[in-house]
Amino acid sequence: MTSLASCIFCKIIKGEIPSFKLIETELAYSFLDIGPLAKGHSLIIPKVHAEKLHELPDSSLTDILSIAKKIALALECENYNILQNNGRIAHQEVGHVHFHVIPKPAGSDKEG
Ligand code: 5GP
Ligand code: ZN
């Protein structure tokens, strides 16, 4: 379990770790992923610390999804994935709920 004190995403929200901020609301924060799977890959996180989605108060969800829609519009990308991992076996590396927004540019489904 990740404690609030050691949580890197809580530190990003507080400005203790730098990030490339995209959109911030009262309850949520978004920024570019440090290891992007595609150009413009971003993360949206609640400001309240919760490790997994089922532990997150519903009150954060409206802001998170509203930011996701704004980012999708700004990307001008017809195709994109919203991904959200919970638990180590499910590939969650950072123990603070986060939603990935991953653009899928035209042609990115083809090999080579
Ligand atoms: P997960 O595998 O937990 O769903 O994804 C965690 C994501 O957080 C990864 O895509 C990783 O690149 C990103 N990440 C980890 N540490 C940092 C950081 O300090 N800054 C930023 N901007 N992204 C991070
Ligand atoms: Zn946290």
Residue that is written with structure tokens 């959200």 in the block: 84
- pTM tops 0.80: yes
Coil, helix or strand for 80? strand
pLDDT tens, N- to C-terminus, the chain (112 residues): 777 779 999 999 999 999 999 999 999 999 999 999 999 999 999 999 999 999 999 999 999 999 999 999 999 889 999 999 999 999 999 999 999 999 998 888 886 5
- Can you say how many angstroms the Cα of residue 72 is from the centroid of all Cα atoms in its chain? 13
Q: Which residue of 11, 39, 41, 43 sits with most ligand 1 atoms within 8 Å of its CB, as the best mutation to test the pocket?
A: 43
**110 CA from centroid of ligand 1 (Å):** 26
With contact defined as beta carbons under 8 Å apart, do 12 and 34 qualify?
no
98 in catalytic set: yes
Q: Which residues contact 18 (CB under 8 A, 6 or more apart)?
A: 12
Question: Distance between CA 56 and CA 85 in Å, rounded?
Answer: 14
ipTM reported for the complex, 2 dp: 0.99
